[in-house]
Amino acid sequence: MFLLVFLPAVLILYYALPQKMCNLVLLLFSLLFYAWGEPIYVCIMLFSTAFDYTNGLLIEHYKKKDRHKAAKVVLIIDLAGNLGILGFFKYTDFLLESVNSITGANLSLLNIALPIGISFYTFQTMSYTIDVYRGIVPAQKSILNVATYVTLFPQLIAGPIVQYKTVAKELEHRRVTMDSFGEGAYRFVIGLAKKIILANQIGSLFTTISGLEELSMASAWLGAIAYTFQIYFDFSGYSDMAIGLGKIFGFTFLENFNYPYISQSITEFWRRWHISLSSWFREYVYIPLGGNRKGMKRQLLNIMIVWFLTGLWHGASWNFVLWGVYYGVLLMIEKLFLLKWLEKIPRVFRHAYCLFFVVIGWTIFSQTDFALLGDYLKAMFGIGVTLVDSTFLYYLSTNLVLLIVLVLCSMDYKSLIKQYQKVETFFYSEAADVIRIIVMIVLFAISFAFLVGDSYNPFLYFRF
């Protein structure tokens, strides 16, 4: 649908109409794109836009008149508004449920459907007003540009979280050439293939395994590893598609993933995973809280706060909080002593250590029900289950090729080939470019075939 109707239409209008109309076309199509799945919630997004636009102007106005307090008040109102919307739609029922289960009360839930992408765009709009307040960017005078920024469809539903300052200039003036278009198209196809071919395929393995009545230890690990790959290729696939589409329309979005599974510590992992989220939290929460400048105790507290919030951001459920806190604790331990110890052990152990905790982390992430999570973790540690069964052998053997491909695709091949002069020369040669074009065509065709022929196409971020 998106590929065959929406994209052609937006491309035609975007390039046929004069440059002045660019943002308008993007805005209208973004609204249409969002309204496609969320016809009613589009209003929230429009409100958000008007709200942040006005507040941005007010903040700048007061700052120019040296009324810093007033500017601060507006900022606080703005943040309260944004967080209020996010909190209301995302966390009300979660809060009620938690109160119910703790106090035994019986408050009825509101059953609000979560507007898709709300966690992404509220974080984006906050980056705008905060940066206006900090004087990093001037307030945007045109409401059209603000609306275009908020609703921009390439990254609307699954990120990355594009900070306003990174696209402020491009919102007003950008140039698309055939070159950047081609680069964007290539990147988009790579992302599409990651999502449709790799993530969905390995995801169906995880779905099968987590639905098994009898789990062996080996199957439990296979399932957890399957999910580990699914979430990476799914999420980074979406980011690639967003970055590619951004390029097609003349925007440069920052990278969101940098081969996270090659990391050798949890600290490194979080520098490589969902970069736009961790940098948002660093910039707008961790550093304002004092970061590492106020002594070790305060720093550890800050880490905990940030990771509690990071967990909560991923979904209104306690397992996400647990997952965030789990990483908070791991990062504190690494900060306190583990990183120094890790430096002394061979690389392969560091890598194994990191992946072990990442896989356990995704297991926590994947099960919103604590009872199920408990059973699954028990199975992973061999408690009360058989070691290997024929079900495992079947799913391992029929997914082995896919798993190997996933491992290969998780590697940072560009750094690897630096050690081999000849390979590197070839990699940047014209022959390699020809191969790239062929790869692009083949990947597009296969992804398309899967889109048509496979009914399994999950959307993982409906909780975000």
Partner 1 sequence: MGRGVNVKITKRIMSVVFLLAVFGISAGSLLLPDKEFSENENRYLAEIPQLSVDNILNAKFQNGLEEYLKDQLCFRDEWISLKTVFQRAMGKTDIGGAYLGKDGYAFEKITKEDIDEELLQKNISYVEDYFAYCSDNIDASHLNFLLVPTSGLVLSDKLPEHAPLFDQNRYIEEVKAAMKAYTFIDVRESLLEHNEEEIYYRTDHHWTSDGAFVAYGQWCKSQGLPTPKIEDYKVEMVTDSFRGTLYSKILNADSAYDSIKKYEKTERPGQFHVVADGKELEGLYDYGKLEEKDKYLFFFGGNYGEVVITNSNPKETGKNLLIIKDSYANTFVPFIADDYDHVYMIDLRYSRADLRAYLAEHEITDVLVLYNISNFATDKNIFKLRGRG
Output 103 or 455, the one with its CB closest to partner 1.
Answer: 455
Nearer Cβ to partner 1, position 59 or 451? 451
Q: Which two three-digit tokens encode residue 230?
A: 């699914």
How far is the C-alpha of 231 from the C-alpha of 194, rounded, in Å? 11
Question: Of 195, 147, 176, 192, which Cα lies nearest the Cα of 34?
Answer: 147
Give min distance, CB of 216 to partner 1, in A. 12
Map the chain to HEC letters: CHHHHHHHHHHHHHHHCCHHHHHHHHHHHHHHHHHHHCCCCHHHHHHHHHHHHHHHHHHHHHHHCCCHHHHHHHHHHHHHHHHHHHHHHHHHHHHHHHHHHHHCCCCCCCCCCCCCCHHHHHHHHHHHHHHHHCCCCCCCCCHHHHHHHHHCHHHCCCCCCCCHHHHHHHHHCCCCCHHHHHHHHHHHHHHHHHHHHHHHHHHHHHHHHHCCCCCCHHHHHHHHHHHHHHHHHHHHHHHHHHHHHHHHCCCCCCCCCCCHHHCCCHHHHHHHCCHHHHHHHHHHHHCCCCCCCCHHHHHHHHHHHHHHHHHHHCCCCHHHHHHHHHHHHHHHHHHHHHHHHHHHCCHHHHHHHHHHHHHHHHHHHHCCCHHHHHHHHHHHCCCCCCCCCHHHHHHHHHHHHHHHHHHHHCCCHHHHHHHCHHHHHHHCCHHHHHHHHHHHHHHHHHHHHHHHHCCCCCCCCCCC
Residue with tokens 């504190």: 332
Active site residue 351: no
Rounded least distance, CB 188 to partner 1, Å: 8
CB of 274 to partner 1, least distance (A): 20
Distance CA 26, CA 10 (A): 8
Question: To the nearest whole angstrom, how small is the minimum distance from the Cβ of residue 183 to partner 1?
Answer: 6
166-to-127, 163, 172, 276, 286 alpha-carbon distances in Å: 10, 6, 12, 11, 20
Q: Judged by CB, which is closer to partner 1: 360, or 451?
A: 451
**36, 443, 458 from 3: Cα distances, Å:** 14, 14, 17
CB of 90 to partner 1, least distance (A): 20
Q: Which of 108, 96, 93, 116 is nearest to 44 (CA)?
A: 116
Binding site for partner 1 (CB under 8 A): 1, 3-5, 7-8, 11, 36-40, 178-183, 185-190, 197, 201, 211-214, 390-391, 393-394, 397-402, 405, 414, 427-430, 432-433, 436-437, 440-441, 444-446, 448-454
Closer to partner 1 by Cβ: residue 123 or 221: 221
Least Cβ distance, residue 8 to partner 1 (angstroms): 5
Nearest approach in angstroms of CB 392 to partner 1 is: 8
CB of 418 to partner 1, least distance (A): 12
Q: Which of 68, 274, 314, 351 is catalytic?
A: 314
| 25 neighbors 33 (Cβ within 8 angstroms) | no
**Residue closer to partner 1, measured from CB, 66 or 430:** 430
Nearer to partner 1, 8 or 84 (CB): 8
Measured distance CA(178)–CA(180) in Å, rounded: 6
Q: Which of 96, 185 has the CB closer to partner 1?
A: 185
Between residues 66 and 179, which has the closer beta carbon with respect to partner 1?
A: 179
**Nearer CB in complex with partner 1: 93/389:** 389
Please list the active-site residues.
314
